[in-house]
Structure formats: C-alpha cells, structure tokens
Amino acid sequence: MKLDLQKFYQACNPSKTLAVENAEDQQYYIDFASVRGGRIIEELRDNITFFSPDEPTCELFTGHIGCGKSTELLRLKAELEQAGFHVVYFESSQDLEMSDVDIGDILLAIARRVAESLDSLEKQLKIPEPKGLRKIIEGAAKLVQVEIEWSAEFTLGIGKITAKVKNSPELRNKLREYLGPRTKSILDVINEELIESATDKLKQHNKKGLVVIVDNLDRLDISQKPWGRPQPEYIFVDRGEQLRQLKCHVVYTIPLSLRFSNDIERLTQRFMVDPKVLPMVPAQQRNGFICEEGMYLLKQMVLARAFPYVPETERLNLISQIFDQPQTFERLCLVSGGHVRELLRLLYDWIKKQRKLPLEREILESVVRYRCNQMALAITDDEWELLRQVAKNHRVNGDEGYRSLIHSRFVYEYCDRNGFWFGINPMLAEAPGLKL
C-alpha cells in the first residue's frame, strides 16, 4: 500500500479536533486511557448516567492545552447521547474574550448555546418563549447598541451581543455593569425558562435529561483582575457557587494552573468534586526508561493517520514507508513528550519542510531545534533553575514560578501507578540553559 503524502499531511493537522461520532474521525482515534492513570471519560459519563441521572451534577475537567481534552469531551458527548441524554457541547472561546471574562459572560454564552441547540427541537418540544430572559437580553442589546428582531430566534440576539462585546473592552464593562446586579435573575430565568422547561419536555420525548459541556474555559488567561485577583481563581473559586447552580448536568474545563493554586481546597468545596485531570501520554517513565505501552500508542496515533484502513497489528510493518529508519520515529515520539498536539505539529511542520517520503531524521532535528530555540527565548534565569529542579525531582509545588512553567507547557504532567509526576518538555532537554 502506497502512502499518499498529501492525505497524510491533512490527517496530521494539529488544529483539528477529532469527533468520534464521525466515521472518518473514528478511524484516527486512539484510546490512551491505559497510560493516563484511568478511564476518566467513563467516570464522567457514569457519574451522570448511573450515579445521578435525575439530579444535576457539575464536573471539572482539566489538563494541558492540546493534550486531547476536546477530543475526549466529544467522545463523552457521543456516549451520553447514546445513553439517551440531549447534550449541548460548545467551545466558550468562540463567545468569550479569554483575557477578560466574567460570570455573566459565561452564563449568557450558556443560555445562547442551550437555546440554539433546542431551536432545532422546538417544534417537537414546544418550549414556551423565555420571556424573562428576553427582557434581560433586550436591556443588554439596548445598552451595547445592538439591534435585534424578536421575530427571529432570540439566540441570534444573544449572538449579536456577544460578538460585539468580545472585541470591545468598553462595551464589556458596560455589559457587566448591567448584568452583574442581575446575576441571580439571569440564573433563575435560565433555569426556569430554558433548562427546567427543556428537561421536562425532553423527558416526555424519551430523553433522560440535559447535559451542557463548556469547553475551552481552560484557556482563560491567568492574568489578574483590576483588583489583583487572578482570573481563574475569580471565576471558579470566587464565583464558582453560581456556576454550579444550573439545574442540569454541566461539565466545565478549567485551567490546569488551578490545581496548584492556594485556593484548590476552596475550589473543591465550591463544586463538591475534585477536578478530573487528563495527563500527557508517557513516552518515558519517571525513571527515564522507555514506556513501552505509551510509545506503542503514540506510534499507532501516527500510523492510523497514514494507514487508517490497515489493521492495527499490521501498521508497524509499514513504518519504512513514512520514516527513513525506526529510530527516527522513536525520536519523534520521545521529543513530543506525549503531548498529542505537539507531536502532530512536529510531524505537520516536518512534512511541509521536507515534502517527500520517507521523512528524514536530519529534517526532524532542524524542526526540533527551531521549536527549542523559540521556547527558550521566553525562559528567564529563574525559570531555568526551576526547570532543572523539575528535571531532577519530577515535582512541582504551588509556587507562582512553577504555575507559569505549567501554563507555558515547559513542564508536563503525567500519571502512573504511584500517582502524578512531572517532567520538563523534552524539546527543552538539550537546551544550553538546562545544562548550566
């Protein structure tokens, strides 16, 4: 079987999120649960479908940006739908300016996406018009000078408002002054006019309930609010009680940095759950030896994109069609650190640079050097010292410096039978600053 380089390149696009309900994406999906410390998505699913199908639940999900959370959440969506739930999944970054978010912004985005999802079911469900929410939206539209026509779906009105304020700090502030004192009213009308009404109708039509999955809130900037509070702590700790008051099942992604915050106990008390963490895929163990199972799965992720119709057991025999030697493939997996998007990005850039098969080790090394140099430019002397400590001890703490390293993906988090451990991004392992 001859490999089509163009199709292989397109299949390795690191910006594409796999949706496992699609047959084309399903053939690329690799289940890494066995090397990630547990079957996290199954836990999230069972908490809803088995342990609390009729009572609202609120879950927190986190991990490094690019480690595969969105793919796993879309798998959760598909499995919940198979179990009979109506699921609303959306990427909050499409509605919100992630450097400047407030609780009202999130609630408005949820209202819009839930209503939008229900629009397609409106004739079947016959949900009454949300008059209280309409009144709040009309006031917001007037404030930010957006014209809306209520003869159309009111979700278009919310969409116009969020689109306009996303790009204007001044309008965001005006909107917050309006929404802030009305937060309880907004929660009440969303619950009564949208969520509870929709849930009752859904159950009448043999659905088991409503689930909202709010993705990309893990991308909130860790910048401080004007009064000095870090944005993630403000949203999920200070205002977390309001986020969990929605009367349906909700899954929020949260910034990984919150796990190392001094407020982590308050966070778990607010939500009554511990955040579920999706670690990296280990290509190496904490002792430095190769993790055979992790390496095998990372290779299968690449081979599935090259030969999706070839049985898994036969793909390893086709490595020579892609790489000049098996050791080159090993090097790609190791230097990625098991960060699935980073691995695909390296491969994507490599293919684009070489433009022919088999892919050569020399070109990979040039791509790696470039990425290493780019990352090293942003690292301070103090951070190099912290990186050396992580390389030696495989630990981090709540120090602000360590949180910055994790947020910047200079340090990766893994999980084995002994618990969580940390390693530096292998791309930096050969950087001069680390060896001094």
- Cα Rg of the chain, angstroms: 23
Tokens found for residue 269: 């008390």
In b/e form, how buried is each residue of 39-72, taking b as 16+ CB within 10 angstroms?
Answer: ebbeebbebbbeeeeeebbbbbbbbbbbbbbbbb
Query: Considering the entire predicted model, what is its pTM?
Result: 0.93
Per DSSP bridges, beta strands 249-253 and 276-278 are unpaired
CA 306 vs CA 4, 10, 94, 167, 367: distances in Å: 8, 10, 31, 40, 20
Tokens found for residue 403: 């949180």
Q: How many CB atoms lie within 10 A of CB 430?
A: 12
**pLDDT reported for residue 124:** 66
With a cut of 60, say whether residue 153 has pLDDT above it.
Answer: no
Task: Give pLDDT tens digits for 40-71.
Answer: 999 999 999 999 999 999 999 999 999 999 99
> Confidence class of residue 12 from pLDDT cuts 50, 70 and 90?
very high
> Confidence class of residue 222 from pLDDT cuts 50, 70 and 90?
confident
Residue 403: CA atoms inside 13 Å, Cβ hemisphere, count? 16
Identify the three-state secondary structure at position 398.
Answer: coil
Polymer length of the chain? 436
Domains observed in the chain? 1-35+280-436 (no CATH), 38-278 (3.40.50)
Identify the three-state secondary structure at position 219.
Answer: helix
Task: Give pLDDT tens digits for 249-282.
Answer: 999 999 999 998 889 999 999 999 999 999 999 9
- The mean pLDDT value of the chain amounts to 91
Residue 100: phi, psi to the nearest 5?
-155, 90
**pLDDT reported for residue 151:** 45
